[in-house]
Structure formats: structure tokens, C-alpha cells
Amino acid sequence: MILFAKGSDVHIEVPSMSIEDIKLPEDSYKADFELSKRYSEFSKEISRFSLLGIAGYGFLIEKVVGTEHLAVMAQGITLILVIIGLVSLAASAGLSLYCRQLNKACLLMQVSILRLLQRRQSERWNNSRLSSEAQVADWKVRNEGDLKRFRDGQSENLSRAHRVQRATVGLLIIGVLATVGVFIRCLRAA
């Protein structure tokens, strides 16, 4: 589905056999968590700026324009700028939340990929003395299938996140420019 992260419904087919299957060394995921944290903070700032711009319209109506000059704001080019500004800022805020959701999906997939890669070296998953040869062969095939699905999903999500992030920033810029234009036009009329 287009609104959700690709592969968000993907799960590992063969469950873990022990706690050792899900333990990861901290250095294997620490950089990913730091990058994810920075990406989420960036999305949060975009959201904050968008909402601040929307609040600017409320301030403009209440403090600057007032009821006597509201007619100037509600006609012609000023009305068009108001609509463009509000729509752009609201879309930017919404898309920034979507970027955060994509970021979380990518991080979840990265941790799952690391766990699946760890299984390749695990004695329990590869030694036919600990499990039957048929089980080991089946696990390897299913593990590689899971790994491919997670990698494909993560690749699609990263690509989608970059496109959405660019659109979010572009909409924020358009919204800010439209807001500035409305402020200038209203100040001239007042």
C-alpha cells in the first residue's frame, strides 16, 4: 500500500530458537540508530516549522489584519497566497510525519537484516549435528528468502523516504514564501 512502508507487514518466517538469535553486538547497529535519530530530528524540525507557519496565519488574522482589513486578505492574489501557503505547510507537516514512519520501518528492517545475517554464522543454524540436514537446508533457504524480502523492502523505503523528504522541504519552502507574501500584502493594506 502506498501510505505504508513497503515490507512493513514482512516478518521472519523461521522464529528464533534462542536468545542468542536476537542478540546483536552494539557496534553492529549503533551507527544506524544514530543516523535514524538524526533523521527523525530533522523530520521533527520540518514539522515544527510547518506548524509554526500555520500558526503565523492565525497571528496575522488576529493581530495584524484585524476585522477591518480581513476583506483584503480574502480576495485576489492574497487569497491565492493564503491557500497555497496553508496547503503547502499542512502537506509539509503531514509528509514529515510520514518520513518519520518510513525511517522507523527502515530501522526495524535493518535490525532484522542484521539478525538474519547473524544466523548465517550461527552454529545452531548451520550444524547438521545439532539439527537435521533437512532442517538446516530448509532454514538456509527460508533465511535467504527473508533476507531478500527485507533488503528489497528497505531499499524501496529508503528511496521513498528520500523522495518524500525532498517534497517535504520543497513544500515547506513554498509555504514559507507564500506566508511571507501574505504578510507583506497585508502590511501594505493596513
What pLDDT shows up at residue 29?
76
**What is the span of the domain harbouring residue 99?**
29-189
Assess if residue 3 is contained within a domain.
Answer: no
Assess if residue 1 is contained within a domain.
Answer: no
Alpha-carbon distance values, 75 to 49, 72, 126 (Å): 26, 6, 73
Assess if residue 174 is contained within a domain.
Answer: yes
Assess if residue 23 is contained within a domain.
Answer: no
Helix, strand or coil for residue 161?
Answer: helix
Rounded CA gap, 182 and 51, in Å? 16
Assess if residue 86 is contained within a domain.
Answer: yes
Helix, strand or coil for residue 138?
Answer: helix
Assess if residue 22 is contained within a domain.
Answer: no
Q: Which of 93, 90, 87, 80 is nearest to 43 (CA)?
A: 93
Q: Which three cell numbers stand for residue 143?
A: 533465511
Domain count across the chain = 1
Assess if residue 20 is contained within a domain.
Answer: no
Cα 102-104-107 angle, rounded to 5 deg: 110
What pLDDT shows up at residue 2?
46
| Residue pLDDT tens, the chain, 190 long | 344 566 566 667 666 666 666 677 777 777 888 888 888 899 999 999 999 999 988 887 776 666 666 666 667 888 888 899 999 999 999 999 999 988 888 888 888 888 888 877 777 777 667 777 787 788 888 888 888 988 998 889 889 999 999 999 999 999 999 989 988 887 776 6
Kind and range of the H or E run holding 94:
helix 76-121
Report pTM. 0.77
Q: Residue type for 154, please?
A: Q
Assess if residue 19 is contained within a domain.
Answer: no
What pLDDT shows up at residue 184?
85
